[in-house]
Structure 1
C-alpha cells in the first residue's frame, strides 16, 4: 500500500509523461476512427456471410434478432438460476424489510420492486423464486430493447456489416446476459438508456417518422421513467432536456420545426421526469430514508482530502483539521489503516451523514486549501482511482454469479439460495472463465474494454464537434455526462458497469456517425 500512497518528488513529472502518452494514444484512436470511416463504405463482405446478413437484415428483422439472442442466452438463463444476488441488492432488501434503516444510497424504485417480487416468491414457496422472476423480467426487457435497437439500425440504413457485428456483440457479450441475470440496477438502467438514445436517433434523423407515431412518444416517456432507476438519471434527463430546448429553438427560428411538435417532444421528456421524481420522493418519505446523496457527490474531495491527511497529516494546521473532522470523523492513524488509493468505499464509512450545510461548506474550504497546497497529492489521488476509465490495457470488468452471497434477514432465509449449485457448479465455473476471457476476444473484446470505449466516445465527439454535426453531438451529451459522473464519482475499480450505458450505446452511435455519409 505504501508504494501507492507515498508522495514522490517526481510525481508531477510522471503525471506529465502519462498525460502526454495518453494524448498520443487518444490521437491514435482518432486516426483509427478516421480510417474506419473510409473502410465502412469500401468493406467487401464474403458471399456466404453476405447471404446470412441478407436474411437477418431482411423482413422481420426484429423477430429474427430477438429469437437468435434468446437461443444463445437461454442456456445461461437456466444455468444461472435463480440469478446472482448482489451485495448492493442485499443491502437494499435489508432496508426494505426494516432490518436496517432505509437510506437514499440505493435507488428506491428498484429496492421496492425487487422487495415486492421476493415477497411474492416467498408466498409461493421460496424467496429465490421471486428473485428469478426479477432477473427474468430484466432479461426480457434487455432482449426487447436490444432487438428494437437492431431493428432501428436497419431503419436508419446503417451498413449491414456494422449491424452484423452489433448483433453478435449483443448476443454473446457477457455485459448483457450476465448483467440481466443479476439483481443489479445497471442492467435495466442501461437498457432504458439505450432505448432513449434509440428514440433520440429517430427524433433527430427520422423526424417525420417519429412525430407521426405515438409509439415513439410512448417509448421515449418509458425510457425517461426508467432512467430514474439510478440516482444520477435525473442529471442525464436534465442535460438532454436543456440540449433539446436549445435545438428546438434553433429549428423554430430557422423555420425547420413546428412549434407544437417541439412542445410535445419537450413534454414527453419533462412530464415523466416530474412524475417519477415525485414518486421517488414519496417512497423516500414512506420509508423514512436517510439522505446519502451528499456523500456520493463529495467523493472526489473526500478521497483527495484523505490522501492529504495520510501523506501530510503532520503539516496540516488544527483549524483545517477541525473543519475536516466535522465531515470525516476518523483520526490520522485510522486513515493509514483504512485508506485505499483505488476506491472511495473505505473512506466513506466515516462520513458524517448528519453534517450541516455549514459543516460541508467549511469542509470544502479546507479541501480547496489542501488542493492549493498539495496539488500533486490531490491529482495523484484522483488518477489512482480513475485511470481505469482511460486505460485500454486494463480489463476492468466484474461479473456476478449465483453463489457466494447468502442472506438471512427477518422473514427471508436465502441460506440455500441456489439448490442447483452442487450439480451445476462445474458449468458455472466454465461460464465464469468465458465471461472473464471475453475482454481478450479480437474486435468484440474492445467493446467491453472500458478504456477503449471511453476514448472512442471522446474521439467521435471531437469529430462531431470539428465537423459541426450538432445532431451527433446531441447524442453524445448524455454519454459524455455519464462518463463525467463516473470520473468524479466514488468507484471505478472493477465497476465498469457504471459506464455500461456507453458500451451499450456505442454500436448505435458508431453506426449512425459512420453511415451518415456526406451528412
Structure 2
C-alpha cells in the first residue's frame, strides 16, 4: 500500500492502468474474433468458411488464442512504455533538442539495411498502374487522370534519364535509389522526432529496427509506384501535423515550418488524391476538437486552404492541361453501397418493384453489375455505374433494401473489408514484374493499348525489368530471410498494422485521458481517417496499407506527444514560438 507520507513512490503499472488492461483484453478478444470471421469470408464468401479454414471448434479456439494473446501482450507492453512517460519529472516534459547525430545514424542504418535488397532486385519493379503511366509518358496512350499526372511526370523523368544512359532499367534503378534515400531520411526524422518528444530509447531503437528490417517496409521501397512515392510526403505531413498539435499550433508561427507544412500537404495531394481526402478529414476533426476546447484554428485552416489552392487550383490543372489529360470519373466512394445493393439484387432479383428498379437504373446498370459482381472487389460493379450524380436520389432505395435484407448487406460489407481485419493474411508485395505484370493473361490485356502484339513485346523488352540471373544467389538468400517473416503472418498482417495498432493506441488514450483532455482525438484523427478510407475503398490491396504502415511508429508515439505537450498556454499571443527549425 502507498502511504501518504511517501507521495513520490510510483504506483505500479497494473495498479495505475487496470482500466486499460481490461480494455486491452476486450479489444484483443474483439480483434481476434474479427480476424477469424475475416478469414472465413476471405476463404468462402461466408461465415460458414470458418469450418473450411479451421475445421473444428477446437481449431477455432486455438486460432482465437493465437491471435488474442499476442495482441494482448503487445497492448500491455506498449501500455507499460506509455505509462513510464507519465512518471517523468516536469523538466523532461519539454521537447528535447533535435538530435542531429541520431538522425544521421538512423538514416544511414535504415538505408544500408535496405541496400542488399535493392541491389539484389535490380533494376526494381513496378505495379500495373505504373506500366499504364509508362504508356502515357511515351505517347502510346493518351494521358488520363485516374493516375496522378504528377507521378507520371516524376516516373517519366527517370525513364527518360534511363534513355539518356542507354538503358531504361538504369533509369528505373536510379529512381529506386532516390526513393530509398528519401524514405530513409523521412523514417529517420520520425525516429528522431520520437526521441525529441521523450519516447523511451527502446521505442526509438525499435522504430529504427522496424523501418530497417520489417518486410512491410523494405518490400515496397524498391517499387516504382504512386503509393510508395506518396508515402514519403504523407509521412512528413503527419509528422508536421503532430508537431503543430503538440505545440497548440504555435509551431505554425515559424515561417519555415509553415512552408514545410504547406509543401508536404501539396505534394501529398498531387501524388495521390485519396490522401488529400484523409488529410482533410483529419484536419476537420482537429478543427472541431479545438473549437470545442475554445482553441484557435485559424493557422491550421489557413495552411490547409493555401495547400488546397496550390494543389487543386493551380498545380493539378496546369499539369493536366500541359499534357492534355482527359478527366475520367472514379467511383471508389460508392464501393460499399454498390456492393451491398448488387449482391442483394443478385440473391433476390425481385427485391425491387419495377418503379424502384427503373429509378436505380439511372444510377447503375443493374443487370450487368449482377453478372460481373465480385464479392472481394468493387471495380467490376462500380464499372457499371451509369451516372454517379444520381446516387443521392437512390438513397431511399439503398436504405430500404438494407432494412429488408440486412444479412446480404452485412455479407457484402464483410467481404470488402475482411482482409483489413485479418491477422493471418500477410501484406505481400511482388518483386518480379516479368512474372506479375507480363504474364500471358496480362499481355493479352495490355495488347489493347497497341496496334500489334509485336509493338507490345518491343515496348516491354525496352523496359528490361526482368530479374538479373547473376543476382539470383543473393536474391534467393534474401527471399529466404524474407520468408521467415512471411511464415509468421501475424507480424506482417493487415490487421496488426492497419487496425490493431491505432486502436490499441486509441484505447490507451481513452482510458488515460477520457474526457479531461481531448487532444488525443486530434492525434488520432489521422489513423481514424485512414481506417475510414480503407473500409470504404474498392479492394483490400497491399499497396493501400502503405500510409498506415509508414506512420505506425508516429501513431505509437501519440501518448508521448500528449505528455510532451502538457504545458499551460496562458497567452497565445505572448507565448514564444518553439524551436521548430530542425523539424523542417
Question: TM-score w.r.t. structure 2 length?
Answer: 0.71
5 Å matches for 1:451-462?
451-453=495-497, 454-462=499-507
Q: Secondary structure at the match of 2:326?
A: coil
1 CA distance for matches of 2:348 and 2:382?
20
1 CA distance for matches of 2:218 and 2:70?
32
2 CA distance for matches of 1:356 and 1:512?
39
Displacement after TM superposition at 1:304 (Å): 1.5
Matched, 1:189 2:230: yes
Displacement after TM superposition at 1:61 (Å): 0.5
Cα distance change on mapping 1:347 and 1:215 into 2, 3 Å = same
Q: Which residues of structure 2 form unaligned runs of 5+?
A: 1-40, 49-56, 86-97, 439-445, 567-584
Number of the residue aligned with 1:38: 80
2 CA distance for matches of 1:421 and 1:245?
52
5 Å matches for 1:395-406?
395-404=426-435, 405-406=437-438
1 CA distance for matches of 2:242 and 2:480?
36
Deviation string, structure 1 residues 479-514 (Cα, Å, up to 9, x no partner): 11111111011011xx13313222222222213415
Matched, 1:386 2:428: no
2:493 aligned to which of 449, 466, 471: 449
Contact 1:128 1:414 (8 Å CA) reproduced: no
Cα distance change on mapping 1:217 and 1:426 into 2, 3 Å = same
Number of the residue aligned with 1:92: 133
Contact 2:378 2:538 (8 Å CA) reproduced: yes
Number of the residue aligned with 1:339: 373
Displacement after TM superposition at 1:415 (Å): 1.8
Number of the residue aligned with 1:477: 525
User: Would you say how many aligned residue pairs link Structure 1 and Structure 2?
Assistant: 478
5 Å matches for 1:134-149?
134-149=175-190
Q: Secondary structure at the match of 2:551?
A: helix
2 CA distance for matches of 1:64 and 1:274?
37
Number of the residue aligned with 1:62: 103
Contact 1:342 1:384 (8 Å CA) reproduced: yes
Q: Secondary structure at the match of 2:202?
A: helix
Number of the residue aligned with 1:241: 283
Q: Which residues of structure 1 form unaligned runs of 5+?
A: 9-16, 44-56
Matched, 1:357 2:389: yes
Number of the residue aligned with 2:509: 464
Cα distance change on mapping 1:5 and 1:175 into 2, 3 Å = closer
Contact 1:127 1:414 (8 Å CA) reproduced: no
Contact 2:99 2:192 (8 Å CA) reproduced: no
Contact 1:300 1:382 (8 Å CA) reproduced: yes
Displacement after TM superposition at 1:62 (Å): 0.8
Deviates more, 1:499-508 or 1:295-304: 499-508
Contact 1:89 1:183 (8 Å CA) reproduced: yes
Cα distance change on mapping 1:320 and 1:61 into 2, 3 Å = same
Displacement after TM superposition at 1:356 (Å): 6.2
2 CA distance for matches of 1:101 and 1:249?
46
Number of the residue aligned with 1:126: 167
Deviation string, structure 1 residues 53-85 (Cα, Å, up to 9, x no partner): xxxx97611111111112111122222222212
2 CA distance for matches of 1:242 and 1:5?
36
Larger radius of gyration: 2
2 CA distance for matches of 1:396 and 1:109?
27
2 CA distance for matches of 1:291 and 1:58?
46
Contact 2:339 2:412 (8 Å CA) reproduced: yes
Number of the residue aligned with 2:465: 418
Cα distance change on mapping 1:97 and 1:368 into 2, 3 Å = farther
Question: TM-score w.r.t. structure 1 length?
Answer: 0.79
Contact 1:65 1:167 (8 Å CA) reproduced: yes
Cα distance change on mapping 1:3 and 1:26 into 2, 3 Å = closer
5 Å matches for 1:146-161?
146-161=187-202
Deviation string, structure 1 residues 242-288 (Cα, Å, up to 9, x no partner): 3444455567x57xxxx7xx644543332122201122234344534
2 CA distance for matches of 1:476 and 1:367?
31
2 CA distance for matches of 1:210 and 1:244?
15
Cα distance change on mapping 1:457 and 1:315 into 2, 3 Å = same
Number of the residue aligned with 1:307: 343
2 CA distance for matches of 1:29 and 1:292?
41
Displacement after TM superposition at 1:29 (Å): 4.7
Contact 1:439 1:449 (8 Å CA) reproduced: no
Matched, 1:226 2:263: no
Contact 1:80 1:428 (8 Å CA) reproduced: yes
Cα distance change on mapping 1:330 and 1:200 into 2, 3 Å = closer
1:103 aligned to which of 139, 144, 150: 144
1 CA distance for matches of 2:42 and 2:110?
47
Deviates more, 1:396-405 or 1:69-78: 396-405
Contact 2:342 2:373 (8 Å CA) reproduced: yes
Number of the residue aligned with 1:269: 304
Matched, 1:428 2:492: no
1 CA distance for matches of 2:43 and 2:425?
19
